[in-house]
Structure 1
Amino acid sequence: MTAVRLRNARTCPCGLPQPYDACCGRFHRGSAAPTAELLMRSRYAAFAVGDEAYLLETWHPSTRPRHRGLDPEDRWTGLEVLGGSGGGLLESTGTVEFRAHRTNRGRSDVVHENSRFVREDGRWSYVGPA
């Protein structure tokens, strides 16, 4: 699935009831996600649309890999936000626990993580598992 195809989709891959372009698409184009949860959702959407550059850009420099490499066979099929702490509009740290569902070559898988985020200079970034 590509970002171009998703611009006409009814809802964003992140699960919020908005079109991709008005939801995570705006973050992928450069707007800053205002909360840790919205950054996590936009990162999930980046996996779904194959936006490796956004994943690397929103990864904290202290833990960012040189390359992220996405498997073109992955089909991200759903996101469940289970909870979190902090990460609000006036905070500088937060965690978000989620389950991300995918299929790859006919096999289903679930990625379950409690992720850490920090906000520096007004921008949230993903640090890693909490």
Structure 2
Amino acid sequence: MANRSDRRTGDSSCPCGLGTSYAACCGALHDGSKQAATAEQLMRSRYSAFVVEDAPYLLRTWSAKTRPRTLRFEAGLQWTGLEILGTEGGSAFHTEGTVEFRASYVGGDQHENSYFTREDGLWVYVEPTTAGTPANRR
């Protein structure tokens, strides 16, 4: 796996798994030259941001309603892949949607169904869902 500095310069494939270079894929979202068109694209870019430890991007794409003040990365955590298991809504024509994913790391994985919405026209991550309902709507 390429190191984090290689990913930031676009010298390797994007961690999100779409098979393009980091610079042409999630890197363009991270640097602000593009915006996510769908909830899935935002999910993929947020996974990549965890891989390259881009806290400003993660905080910027987190809903103002649920965003933490700071974000810390677990030392030594090595992400190994992202699998999108399903989506509901979240297209360029929707205002909300969910993305179910499995993000793998050395020693385990994280399985979540995430809720996304638009704020000021841009897709943002809100929170994990429970049985298809965002946690704050239970």
TM-score if structure 1 supplies the norm length?
Answer: 0.92
Q: Where does residue 45 of structure 1 map in the other structure?
A: 48
Q: Where does residue 16 of structure 2 map in the other structure?
A: 14
* Residue type of the alignment partner of 2:78: R
Q: How far does residue 119 in structure 1 lie from its aligned partner after superposition?
A: 1.1
CA distance in 2, matches of 1:96, 1:118: 11
> What SS is found at the alignment partner of 2:48?
helix
CA distance in 1, matches of 2:109, 2:121: 31
The number of equivalent residue pairs is 124
Alignment partner of 1:78 out of 58, 64, 81: 81
> What SS is found at the alignment partner of 1:20?
coil
Q: Where does residue 121 of structure 2 map in the other structure?
A: 122
> What SS is found at the alignment partner of 2:16?
coil
Q: Is residue 63–residue 119 contact of structure 2 (8 Å, CA) maintained in 1? A: no
> What SS is found at the alignment partner of 1:116?
strand
Q: Aligned-pair RMSD on alpha carbons?
A: 0.9
Gaps of 5+ in 2: 130-138
Q: Where does residue 133 of structure 2 map in the other structure?
A: none
TM-score if structure 2 supplies the norm length?
Answer: 0.87
CA distance in 2, matches of 1:122, 1:16: 25
Q: Where does residue 35 of structure 1 map in the other structure?
A: 38
